[in-house]
């Protein structure tokens, strides 16, 4: 039921952090992984997205899964936020998942498949000094629901995994400056590791989740659930 062996799966943002952990685990489980990341592929370039889809199809003519994990963040107060940082964040965090999902879905129509978008706590909560990241992750959450509605008739499932505070290069400032504060706010009392996302990813890519679409799974140690 939790099999991913022989599936053809594209993983963006696979050169480090969460994407790397997901890609490696899927390969260990026997999936055929097409890693989509710099320098080989630039997710902001349409020709590179077309190329990664074509390379995936070369394996056995099918695409069974897509994990949109590529992401960038540029911290700054909204009054001083640079236009170019907003545009880059939008292109990587929201436009690229939209475009690649459409391209991959065209080749999933006859066989079905699974698309996972990696969102964030920022999809639910406003955080300071990061307007573009918060906006794009909130948009990605809703894009997933729209795609689930449109693609369901083809048996293509689309779901979100929302990481909490996971220790990666992207979160190193938070780890350095707010580690204890965040651990106190998290029910399980610790930061997550990229490996904590693997169970949810395998679940959503396998037949074990065959009746699940349009949903958000937050792997956050209980951060969102905690009140006082």
- The model's pLDDT over 169-211, given as tens digits with 9 standing for 90+, comes to 778 776 777 789 899 999 999 999 999 999 999 999 999 999 9
The residue range of the domain holding 91 is: 8-219
3 part of a folded domain: no
Residue 127 has pLDDT above 90, yes or no: no
Residue 13 has pLDDT above 80, yes or no: yes
132 part of a folded domain: yes
What per-residue string of b and e applies to 128-141 under the rule 16 or more CB within 10 Å gives b? eebbbbbbbbbbbb
| pTM, rounded to two decimals | 0.96
24 or 179, greater pLDDT = 24
Run of H or E including 141: helix 131-151
225 part of a folded domain: no
89 part of a folded domain: yes
Cβ distance 136 to 179 under 8 Å? no
3-state secondary structure of 51: helix
Average pLDDT for 43-58 = 98
Domain CATH code at residue 103: 3.40.50.720
**CA-CA distance, 199 to 219, in Å (whole number)?**
10
3-state secondary structure of 155: coil
**CA-CA distance, 124 to 134, in Å (whole number)?**
9
Q: What is the pLDDT of residue 171?
A: 81
Average pLDDT for 84-90 = 98
* Domain count within the chain: 1
228 part of a folded domain: no
Q: What is the pLDDT of residue 133?
A: 96
Residues annotated as catalytic (active site), given as ranges: 133
**CA-CA distance, 31 to 33, in Å (whole number)?**
6
- The DSSP bridge partners found for residue 67 are 11, 116
Q: What is the pLDDT of residue 44?
A: 98
**At residue 107, what are phi and psi to the nearest 5 degrees?**
-105, 5
CA torsion 19-169-160-206 (nearest 10°) is 30
Nearest to 94 by CA among 119, 77, 115, 113: 119
User: If you average pLDDT over every residue of the chain, what do you get?
Assistant: 96
86 part of a folded domain: yes
Q: Tell whether omega for the bond before 118 is within 30 degrees of 0, i.e. cis.
A: no
160 part of a folded domain: yes
Per the document, the length of the chain is 228
Q: What is the pLDDT of residue 156?
A: 98
Run of H or E including 117: strand 113-118
56 part of a folded domain: yes
Average pLDDT for 68-97 = 96
Q: What is the pLDDT of residue 54?
A: 98
Nearest to 114 by CA among 14, 12, 214: 214
Q: What is the pLDDT of residue 119?
A: 98
Average pLDDT for 79-108 = 98
Share of the chain above pLDDT 70, in %: 99
The Cα angle at residue 162 between residues 27 and 164, in degrees rounded to 5: 100
């Amino acid at each position: 039921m939790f099999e991913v062996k022989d599936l053809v799966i594209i993983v963006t943002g696979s050169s480090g952090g969460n994407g790397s952990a997901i890609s490696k685990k899927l390969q260990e489980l026997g999936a055929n992984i097409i890693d989509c990341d710099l320098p080989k592929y630039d997710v902001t370039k349409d020709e590179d997205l077309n190329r990664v889809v074509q390379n995936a199809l070369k394996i056995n003519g099918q695409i069974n899964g897509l994990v949109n994990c590529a992401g960038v963040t540029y911290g700054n107060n909204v009054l001083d936020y640079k236009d170019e940082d907003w545009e880059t964040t939008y292109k990587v965090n929201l436009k690229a998942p939209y475009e690649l999902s459409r391209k991959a879905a065209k080749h999933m129509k006859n066989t079905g498949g699974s698309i996972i978008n990696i969102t964030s706590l920022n999809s639910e909560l406003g955080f300071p000094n990061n307007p573009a990241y918060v906006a794009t992750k909130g948009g990605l959450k809703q894009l997933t629901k729209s795609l689930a509605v449109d693609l369901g008739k083809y048996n293509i499932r689309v779901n979100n995994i929302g990481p909490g505070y996971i220790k990666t290069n992207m979160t190193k400032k938070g780890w350095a400056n707010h580690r204890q504060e965040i651990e106190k706010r998290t029910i399980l009392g610790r930061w997550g590791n990229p490996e904590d996302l693997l169970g949810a990813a395998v679940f959503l890519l396998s037949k074990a989740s065959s009746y699940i679409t349009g949903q958000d799974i937050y792997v956050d140690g209980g951060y969102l659930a905690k009140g006082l």
